[in-house]
Amino acid sequence: MTRLRTVVQSEEFGAKSSMPAASDRSIQSSADLAIVILNYNTATLLRDCLRSIQTSQHELRVEVIVVDNASSDESVAMVRSEFPDVRLMVNPANIGYSAGNNVALRALGFDPQNPAPPQVLPRYVLLLNPDTILSPTTLAKMVRFMDDHPTIGVAGPRVRRPDGSLDRACRRSFPTPQVSFYRMTGLSRLFPKSRRFNAYNLEYLPEDSVHPVDSVVGAYMQVRREAILQAGLLDERFFMYGEDLDWAKRIKDAGWEIWYNGEVEITHVKEAASSQSSKSRIDFYEAMWLFYQKHYRRETNWALDKAILLGIVGKGALDVGRHLWRFCTRDRRLEDASSMQRVNVDGR
């Protein structure tokens, strides 16, 4: 077991600006791997994630940066007191997933307006969710995998949920209009092993296989330095969802390969920060429309374009409506359950 080696110190930025001053942004890196963790109110999970990084077995030069999006829990104090070797960057407001990660990417030297010399940039950047747990060999195996395949710009491991099931988002095809149609109409669920109908989640492929994909999940997205320099930063119009797909699309369009490595595995709690709120659901459907508008709308005929718009709006309205109904009737259901419990106790 080796201790995590970092080359930067803990630092918090003041609440007057969501970005650090230009003189504070530079991190002299030349690390093998820079791990960027965007946190929002997940202190306990973040602690477990950082501990799993600490117990990683490798000989890599690693930097860890935690960007906190104005958490109201003890996240900031916990990182500062328990992980003093971790670089801590605090935003005064929740600026979203893309913008939050871009704060760290700019600090590492990937700022298009003020780029650092390539030789001081980390060889790889890992976007890692705070609700993930790494195995001791995850980092070493994933870096070695990309070192052995220089044409790979992005790679991700097999991702398990706590119940042992596969997080299906860890290997995906791009949601083209055709792929999205099969998914939204339920054909992908009816024919999970079909290459045609379930192209999005690729469930017809073995979980432990190693193969090229269109995208991996942003919970563990390891990106090569040169791919970031070519594709640029995350698109900050994506607040919470879709930014990983968009980044993968731009990186792949730049000529890089994207691979899923099913021989390496991590655990992902998933949705810990969003808790599936109505706002997060709205963000999801907004991201769906933005991705389509950005990458496919120009090539889509008028009739299909309007059908896609109606499909996203209709499905989104039903989804958010169901969530709000469950939320608004939650107290009544709890009261009914409590009353039934009292009746059962009194009737004994």
pTM of the entire predicted model: 0.79
Q: What residues are paired with 259 via a beta bridge?
A: 155, 212
Instruction: Using the Cα atoms of residue 21, residue 8, residue 219 and residue 172 in order, give the sign of their dihedral.
Output: positive
- Residue 193: pLDDT band by 50, 70, 90 thresholds? confident
pLDDT at 339: 57
The helix (H) or strand (E) run that includes residue 263 is: strand 257-268
Is the pLDDT score of 56 beyond 80?
Answer: yes
Cα 19 to Cα 216: distance, rounded to the nearest angstrom: 28
Residue 344: pLDDT above 50?
A: yes
Q: How confident is the model at residue 342 (pLDDT cuts 50, 70, 90)?
A: low
Q: Is the pLDDT of residue 340 over 60?
A: no
45 pLDDT higher than 70: yes
> Who has greater pLDDT, 217 or 315?
217
Report the range out of 16-30, 118-132, 237-251 with the highest average pLDDT: 118-132
Question: Which has more pLDDT, 137 or 277?
Answer: 137
Q: Which residues pair with 89 in a beta bridge?
A: 67
31 φψ region: left (φ > 0), alpha (ψ -120 to 50), beta (else): beta
User: 112, 108, 111: which is closest to 121 by C-alpha?
Assistant: 108
Helices within 185-329 (DSSP H only): 187-190, 225-231, 243-253, 278-295, 302-328
> Would you state the pLDDT for residue 12?
39
Q: Does the structure show a pLDDT above 90 at 18?
A: no
Q: Tell me the residue ranges of DSSP E strands in 162-207.
A: none
Residue 41: how many CB atoms within 10 A of its CB?
19
pLDDT at 20: 38
311-337: average pLDDT: 67
Residue of 196, 205, 222 whose CA lies nearest to 166 = 205
Residue 7 to residues 36, 84, 225, Cα–Cα distance (Å): 14, 11, 18
Q: 44-78 burial, b if ≥16 CB within 10 A, otherwise e?
A: ebbbebbebbbebebebbbbbbbbbbbbeeebbeb
Length of the chain: 348
CB 63 within 8 A of CB 89: no
Tell whether the model's pLDDT for residue 116 goes beyond 60. yes
